[in-house]
């Protein structure tokens, strides 16, 4: 059967694939995808959500700890409770759901000669590219067309192979998120005596979760000289349970044949290199890795979307549109967030902009109507700045993170060698996603200077 199908493709004889038309197609049914879809629907667009799992909710289904919704709903909710509020809103609309469906490609082509949007709005011939999202599910292959696509695929965890821990390859090495799924959804116990590498929020939360499930946590080891998670998680998950946090220390070897028997840990110097003579053996049967998250952007790259090497997410403008017209990105697929509430706020902006684009409007007018745009670059201790492009003279929220903690620093906006704006002196931490309002008059000033770049610099200030 496979050979016959392949032969048919070679001769250009392919069975017609069913196609359905929408205004906006959202890829991903987690908090970002649902928020974007609801915002697009509210703006009058016909919307579809494609989700590879059997349920909406994304990663929040396994995040049973509280701490969600404080900003968006003004109450403390668990992950599943937060997700359910959006699931209920989605089900109350006519948003089309394609669950248990894997997107295998996004293609763009010019609109037909007599193009009409899914909402019945007449379009100028070839005015806007129509994007085709091809997906597979148990029923077969299906294509969804839309003038706008919202990328909301979330992120994945870095694995042992990406941080290159030496040693053998026994059972018992898990990413923290996988262990979280085993415990909270699959009702499986990953081990009895655990070591956690990395002090990101997932690692801190899993230290507490393992302890509550009767798993002894020998300690949390962090390569950097500071914790990478939110301060509240360090207190609530480690300090309150007496779990030690070892800074400037990392796992340098995994020991064991069939199952992890121990790990070797070593202190590191200021260059993050292991210090000879500081090695010690920590007996354990489980190693959990909380060593960073990576935006899930394989589909984005295949669709021609440019990625920012700093965030490993798409380069977007202030309407969250990528360099491919009509393709938008939001949530953790764009840059890794600290709070789900922030994901929701950002994704609502993306959904509204996508609907405006699909229904014949414009997601964001070009700067001063001249077609000029400004790139945004980080400097000082700023690790990244988002959006990476500014295409409109309007109040713009810049998001960024610092690369190291500092007690006193100031945000400065620079263009053409001139300081255009400066914030107040305050403390910054890498665990917190910061935002900074960029006034329209600052953008206009940068354009007047004839520059093509705005620099967001976070500069430490020497205290008197």
Residues 43-78 have pLDDT tens digits of: 999 999 999 999 999 999 999 999 999 999 999 999
Asked whether the predicted pLDDT for residue 249 surpasses 90, the reply is yes
Name the burial class of residue 80, with classes exposed (0-12), middle (13-18) and buried (19+) by CB atoms within 10 angstroms of its CB. Answer: middle
Does the structure show a pLDDT above 50 at 446? yes
pLDDT score for 312: 95
User: What pLDDT does residue 119 have?
Assistant: 54
Give the model's confidence band at 378: pLDDT under 50 very low, under 70 low, under 90 confident, else very high. Answer: very high
pLDDT, residue 120, reads 53
Q: Alpha-carbon distance 448 to 442, whole Å?
A: 10
Kindly tell me if the per-residue pLDDT of 126 is higher than 80.
Answer: no
Q: Looking at 49-53, 123-127, 306-310, 403-407, which range is the least confident one?
A: 123-127
pLDDT bin (cut points 50, 70, 90) of residue 143 is: very high
What band does 342 get if pLDDT is binned at 50, 70 and 90? very high
Per-residue pLDDT, 167: 83
- Residue 381 is encoded by which pair of tokens? 């201790």
Q: Report, as an integer, the average pLDDT of 135-143.
A: 95
Share of the chain above pLDDT 90, in %: 84
Token pair 């499986």 in the structure block, residue:
188
Query: In the structure, what pLDDT confidence band is assigned to residue 10 with cuts at 50, 70 and 90?
Result: very low
Average pLDDT of the chain? 90
What pLDDT shows up at residue 125?
Answer: 40
Answer yes or no: are the C-beta atoms of 308 and 384 closer than 8 Å. yes
Band (pLDDT 50/70/90 cuts) for residue 164 is confident
The model's confidence at residue 128, banded by pLDDT at 50, 70 and 90, is low
Per-residue pLDDT at 15 = 62
Task: Give me the half-sphere count of Cα atoms (radius 13 Å) on the Cβ side of residue 385.
Answer: 27
In tens, the pLDDT along 383-421 reads 999 999 999 999 999 999 999 999 999 999 999 889 999
Asked whether the predicted pLDDT for residue 464 surpasses 60, the reply is no
Give residue 166's pLDDT. 87
Note the pLDDT tens digit of each residue in 89-106: 999 999 999 999 999 999
**What is the separation of C-alpha 200 from the centre of its chain, rounded to a whole number of angstroms?**
15
Residue 367: pLDDT over 60: no
The pLDDT assigned to 108 comes to 81
pLDDT of residue 335: 96
Highest mean pLDDT among 70-74, 168-172, 347-351: 347-351
Task: Say if residue 80's pLDDT is above 80.
Answer: yes
Model confidence band, residue 163 (pLDDT cutoffs 50, 70, 90): confident
| 405 to 13, 339, 359, 426: CA distances (angstroms) | 60, 19, 44, 11
Indicate if the pLDDT at residue 365 is higher than 70.
Answer: no
pLDDT of residue 460 exceeding 80, the answer is yes
Percentage above 70 pLDDT, the chain = 90
Q: How high is the pLDDT of residue 360?
A: 85
**Cβ count within 10 A of residue 132:** 18
Report the distance separating Cα 29 and Cα 83, nearest Å: 10
**More confident site: 12 or 49:** 49
Crossing angle, helix 201-212 and helix 176-184, to 10 degrees?
40
pLDDT at 217 over 60: yes
């Amino acid at each position: 059967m496979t050979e016959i199908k392949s032969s048919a493709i070679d001769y250009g004889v392919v069975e017609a694939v069913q196609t359905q038309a929408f205004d906006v197609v959202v890829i991903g049914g987690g908090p970002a995808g649902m928020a974007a879809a609801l915002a697009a629907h509210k703006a009058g667009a016909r919307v579809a959500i494609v989700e590879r799992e059997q349920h909406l909710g994304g990663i929040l289904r396994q995040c049973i700890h509280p701490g969600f919704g404080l900003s968006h709903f003004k109450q403390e909710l668990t992950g599943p409770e937060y997700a359910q509020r959006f699931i209920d809103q989605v089900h109350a609309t006519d948003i089309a759901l394609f669950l248990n469906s894997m997107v295998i490609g996004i293609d763009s082509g010019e609109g037909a000669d007599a193009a009409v949007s899914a909402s019945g709005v007449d379009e100028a011939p070839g005015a806007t590219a129509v994007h085709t999202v091809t997906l597979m599910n148990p029923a077969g292959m299906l294509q969804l067309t839309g003038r706008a696509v919202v990328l909301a695929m979330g992120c994945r965890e870095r694995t042992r192979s990406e941080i290159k821990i030496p040693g053998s390859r026994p059972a018992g090495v898990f990413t923290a998120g996988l262990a979280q799924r085993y415990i909270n959804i699959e009702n499986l116990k990953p081990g009895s005596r655990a070591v956690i590498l990395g002090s990101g929020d997932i690692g801190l939360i899993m230290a507490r979760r393992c302890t509550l499930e009767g798993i002894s946590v020998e300690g949390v080891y962090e390569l950097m000289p500071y914790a990478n998670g939110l301060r509240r998680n360090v207190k609530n998950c480690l300090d309150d349970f007496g779990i030690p946090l070892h800074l400037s220390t990392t796992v340098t070897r995994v020991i064991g044949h069939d199952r992890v028997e121990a790990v070797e840990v070593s202190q590191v110097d200021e260059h993050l290199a292991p210090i000879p003579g500081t090695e010690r053996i920590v007996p354990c049967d489980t190693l959990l890795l909380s060593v960073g998250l990576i935006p899930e952007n394989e589909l984005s790259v295949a669709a021609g979307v440019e990625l920012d090497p700093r965030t490993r997410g798409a380069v977007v403008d202030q309407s969250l549109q990528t360099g491919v017209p009509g393709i938008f990105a939001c949530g953790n697929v764009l840059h890794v967030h600290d709070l789900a509430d922030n994901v929701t706020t950002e994704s609502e902006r993306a959904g509204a902009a996508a609907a405006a684009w699909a229904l014949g409007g414009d997601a964001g007018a070009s700067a001063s109507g001249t077609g000029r745009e400004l790139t945004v670059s980080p400097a000082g201790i700023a690790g990244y700045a988002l959006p990476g492009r500014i295409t409109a003279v309007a109040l713009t929220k810049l998001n960024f993170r610092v690369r190291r903690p500092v007690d006193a620093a100031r945000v400065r906006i620079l263009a053409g060698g001139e300081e255009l704006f400066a914030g107040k002196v305050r403390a910054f931490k890498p665990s917190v996603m910061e935002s900074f309002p960029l006034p329209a008059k600052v953008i206009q000033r940068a354009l007047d200077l004839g520059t093509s770049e705005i620099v967001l610099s976070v500069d430490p200030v020497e205290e008197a």
